[in-house]
């Protein structure tokens, strides 16, 4: 089996999922064999402290299609996915969680949409979720905000672990921090715009407990802002900081000139007047001028850093004739 004839790579990040691994691998194998797919399974152990790695070693001994990587410590799902993406060889890459809440039975349809309908990315949509209300309501809010910021209006569930990608997508993007939640957004900024979703089955968690707490929503919002800024202004930071700086500076400058002109006109007309420095609006203008100058200088410095970056002329090239 070579890189040229591999149909599907299944990437599975995991952390303390010892109970579910054997059942999951057997389920994937059954689906792949039934549909005669050539495939590989890439398991990324994100620093598990249970018996996950020992079980993976046993599974590898029985199934040569398994590739496994173990981190020395827990780095997070994004790091695991990034390492898994680098190792893939299949024409279609499928990601799924190891907790048996994602169904491998969805893989054939995901594969069909990527290959035969020419989508770049298909994201699962767990329309019927088996999660507590404390998780479902924040998730709906998170997805609504992400749709508004990213402009990807046809996705209902950005954070679903079950996704399928063209190989070119996973080889063209970098996932880090907590940004696995925004892979469709990252893919869009990289130029892959044929993105759709598929309603998938969501099973109740069978073993263990969830690895995510409430703090993920705060981190997720900050990561969304980072992705938006980096995707839009990474190669032209002066367009962002310079524009904001010029607007702030001009607003402060106009206010200051108006206050001074008002005083001079009052003096010329021998009317009562207040000193410019006695008016609170003057200090607002002064702050706006200072902030505007700082933003402009920040943009200038960021532009110098960007121009000296080793990947400043790294662009996504789709085809060359």
Task: Report whether 272 contacts 301 (CB < 8 A).
Answer: no
Distance CA 165, CA 198 (A): 13
Query: In terms of DSSP bridges, do strands 121-125 and 163-166 run parallel, antiparallel, or are they unpaired?
Result: antiparallel
pLDDT at 206: 74
Task: Report whether 107 contacts 8 (CB < 8 A).
Answer: yes
Task: Report whether 259 contacts 289 (CB < 8 A).
Answer: no
Task: Report whether 40 contacts 64 (CB < 8 A).
Answer: no
pLDDT at 211: 58
Distance CA 214, CA 52 (A): 25
pLDDT tens per residue across all 321 residues of the chain: 444 578 999 999 999 999 999 999 999 999 999 999 999 999 999 999 999 999 999 999 999 999 999 999 999 899 999 999 999 999 999 999 999 999 999 999 999 999 999 999 999 998 877 666 666 677 788 888 888 878 888 898 888 999 999 999 999 998 887 788 889 988 998 889 999 999 998 887 777 666 555 566 666 677 777 767 766 666 677 888 888 999 999 999 999 999 999 888 888 888 888 888 888 898 999 999 999 999 999 888 877 776 666 565 555 556 676
pLDDT at 212: 58
For residue 9, report the phi and psi dihedrals to the nearest 5 degrees: -110, 125
Place of tokens 């367009």: 239
pLDDT at 55: 95
SS3 readout for 87-123: HCCCCEEEECCCCCCECHHHHHHHHHHHHHCCCCEEE
| E strand spans, the chain | 8-14, 39-45, 66-70, 92-95, 121-125, 163-166, 195-199
Rg (alpha carbons) of the chain, rounded to whole number = 26
What is residue 202's DSSP assignment? Answer: B
Task: Report whether 248 contacts 317 (CB < 8 A).
Answer: no
Q: How far is CA 308 from CA 235, 282, 305, in A?
A: 11, 39, 5
Cα dihedral 290, 296, 297, 298 in deg (nearest 10): 110
Find the helix or strand (DSSP H, E) in which 44 lies. strand 39-45
Place of tokens 């949409």: 113
């Amino acid at each position: 089996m070579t890189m040229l004839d591999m149909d599907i790579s299944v990437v599975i990040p995991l952390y303390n999922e010892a109970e579910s691994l054997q059942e999951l691998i057997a389920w994937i194998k059954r689906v792949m064999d039934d549909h005669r797919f050539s495939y590989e399974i890439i398991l990324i152990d994100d620093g598990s402290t249970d018996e996950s790695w020992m079980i993976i070693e046993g599974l590898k001994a029985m199934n040569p299609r398994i590739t496994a990587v173990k981190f020395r410590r827990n780095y997070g799902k994004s790091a695991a996915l990034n390492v898994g993406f680098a190792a893939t060889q299949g024409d279609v890459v499928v990601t799924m969680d190891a907790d048996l809440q994602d169904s491998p039975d969805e893989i054939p349809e995901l594969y069909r949409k990527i290959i035969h309908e020419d989508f770049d990315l298909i994201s699962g949509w767990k329309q019927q979720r088996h999660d507590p209300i404390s998780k479902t309501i924040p998730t709906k809010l998170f997805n609504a905000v992400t749709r508004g910021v990213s402009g990807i209006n046809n996705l209902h569930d950005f954070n679903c672990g079950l996704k399928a990608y063209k190989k070119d997508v996973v080889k063209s993007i970098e996932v880090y921090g907590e940004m696995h939640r925004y892979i469709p957004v990252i893919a869009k900024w990289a130029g892959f715009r044929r993105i759709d979703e598929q309603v998938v089955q969501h099973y109740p968690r069978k073993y263990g407990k969830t690895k995510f707490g409430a703090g993920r929503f705060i981190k997720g919002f900050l990561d969304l802002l980072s992705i938006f800024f980096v995707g839009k202004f990474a190669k032209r930071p002066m367009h962002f900081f310079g524009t904001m700086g010029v607007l702030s500076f001009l607003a402060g400058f106009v206010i200051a000139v108006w206050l001074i002109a008002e005083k001079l006109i009052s003096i010329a007309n021998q009317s009562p007047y207040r000193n410019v420095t006695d008016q609170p609006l003057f200090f607002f203008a002064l702050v706006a001028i200072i902030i505007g100058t700082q933003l402009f200088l920040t943009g200038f410095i960021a532009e110098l850093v960007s121009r000296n970056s080793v990947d400043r002329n790294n662009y996504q090239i789709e085809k060359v004739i």
